[in-house]
Amino acid sequence: MRRTTTYLFALLVAVVALGYAAWRFYDVNGGAGSGTAAIGGPFTLVDQYGKTRTRDDFAGQYRLIYFGYTFCPDACPTALWAMTQALDQLAQSDPAVAKQVTPIFITIDPARDTVEHMKTYAASFHPRLVALTGTPQQVAQAAKAYRVFYRKVPQEGSGDYLMDHSSFIFLMSPDGRYLAHATHQTSPDDLAKLIDQTVKKNAG
């Protein structure tokens, strides 16, 4: 009996967690059940060259956006590698599509991800990658607009920390609308196909 109760409690916790994640990711239009993804919004951040950037700076361009941090040991470099490889593939197969897409990396660890550090990090991935940082408040505003979860996780005994965070690659339209998403586990081939098909569908 105790084992059954424990199982049911664990199942309930999982269902609640899944429901919360779905609520964060989707805006159901005031309960009407539209299922429209409520992703994106205004932000003010600073790029790897020290220039202030806002959402309006990218108007007219498709945006491939990932939130992460430079000290990330796995998901973030994997996602950025997939993004840059996908864009390189598109540059070969369909240059017209590739030129319309701007890859953007937004830190969720502004305390360590300074402008100078972001510049060095971005250079190791792609010459077109825009790396954005800012104050903790500016980063929190951007993350909230994209419904990105993140929190600091102290590492016992070291005084250091990692960042726990959601890991989505968002494809946004030239007018800032959410179009599609992938994750750091999406292969460059699949991501390139997703970008190509979505851009062409949106244009049509």
- The answer to the question of residue 1 being in a domain is no
Single pTM value for the model: 0.83
Helices (H) and strands (E) in the chain, counts: 6, 11
29-51 residue pLDDT tens? 333 333 456 899 999 999 999 99
For residue 119, pLDDT beyond 90: yes
Which residues, in sequence order, are bridge partners of residue 131? 105
Cα separation, 150 vs 135, whole angstroms: 15
- The answer to the question of residue 138 being in a domain is yes
- The answer to the question of residue 196 being in a domain is yes
- Give the CATH number, domain containing residue 113: 3.40.30.10
Burial of residue 17 (number of CB atoms within 10 Å: 0-12, 13-18, 19+) = exposed
The reply to whether 184 sits in an annotated binding site is no
Where is 172: in which H helix or E strand? strand 168-172
- The answer to the question of residue 149 being in a domain is yes
198 close to 186: Cβ distance less than 8 angstroms: no
pLDDT score, position 116: 97
91-115 residue pLDDT tens? 999 999 999 999 999 999 999 999 9
Q: Considering just the CA atoms, what is the radius of gyration of the chain in Å? A: 18
- The answer to the question of residue 29 being in a domain is no
Which residues, in sequence order, are bridge partners of residue 107? 68
The reply to whether 72 sits in an annotated binding site is yes
Q: Which domain holds residue 135?
A: 39-203
- The answer to the question of residue 27 being in a domain is no
Strand 130-133 relative to strand 101-107, pairing: parallel
What is the count of structural domains for the chain?
1
- The answer to the question of residue 4 being in a domain is no
Where is 171: in which H helix or E strand? strand 168-172
Closest to 136 in 3D by CA, of 38, 46, 71: 46
